[in-house]
Amino acid sequence: GQGVEQPDNLMSVEGTFARVNCTYSTSGFNGLSWYQQREGHAPVFLSYVVLDGLKDSGHFSTFLSRSNGYSYLLLTELQIKDSASYLCAVRGDRGGSGNKLIFGTGTLLSVKP
Partner 1 sequence: NSKVIQTPRYLVKGQGQKAKMRCIPEKGHPVVFWYQQNKNNEFKFLINFQNQEVLQQIDMTEKRFSAECPSNSPCSLEIQSSEAGDSALYLCASSGTISNERLFFGHGTKLSVL
Least Å from the CB of residue 18 to partner 1: 18
Binds partner 1 by CB under 8 A, chosen from 33, 62, 71, 83: 33
Question: Between the CA of residue 80 and those of 32, 35, 68, what are the distances in Å?
Answer: 26, 18, 32
Binds partner 1 by CB under 8 A, chosen from 91, 92, 109, 111: 91
Burial class (CB in 10 A: 0-12, 13-18, 19+), 103: middle
How far apart are the C-alpha atoms of 47 and 53, rounded to whole Å?
14
Least Å from the CB of residue 1 to partner 1: 14
Q: Where does this chain bind partner 1 (CB under 8 A)?
A: 30-31, 33, 35, 40-45, 48, 85, 87, 89, 91, 98-103, 105-106
